[in-house]
Structure formats: structure tokens, C-alpha cells
Amino acid sequence: MTYWVRKPLQLIREEPPGPLSFVEIAPGSIITVKSSGVESGRVDVLYDGQIFGAIMRDIEKRAEMMKG
């Protein structure tokens, strides 16, 4: 599923063995949800050629699903 970001959205960057860090993406960005985290709510997101983590609830509040 591809989304157009309406409001700033934070993505989670995991770089083992380092700590988690966050990346804020700007409105107008395009993200693609690559997996669904039914139980945890966490999903994998493709943005700018990299995989990040995100909370699906945040995506639903801050982005719109693109049709087509």
C-alpha cells in the first residue's frame, strides 16, 4: 500500500547494534507499507530506498492511501 504523507511523520530507524533513532519525513513524501503488524501495530515502510519501521495508526492519521 502506498501513502501520500499529509503531516510530518516519524519513522523508526533500527541500526543494530546501535540504539533506535527516528527520521521525520515531510508532508508530500511518498511511503510504501511493506508489511502489516496486526498484533503490534508496527509495520515496515519503504521510504527513500530504505526500510524503516512505523506505527500503522500514525500512518493512518498523517497520510492518505493512494489509489491505483
The CATH code of the domain that includes 21 is 2.30.30
CA 32 to chain centre: 7
What's the gap between Cα 9 and its chain centre?
7
Number of domains in the chain: 1
Tell me what pLDDT residue 25 has.
Answer: 96
Question: What does the pLDDT read at residue 2?
Answer: 96
pLDDT recorded at residue 35: 77
Report pLDDT for 36.
67
User: Which residue stretches of the chain have pLDDT < 50?
Assistant: none
Per-residue pLDDT at 4: 98
What proportions of the chain, in percent to the nearest 5, are helix, strand and coil? 10, 50, 40
Question: Residue 59's domain spans which residues?
Answer: 2-65
| pLDDT value, residue 17 | 77
In the DSSP assignment, the letter for residue 66 is: P
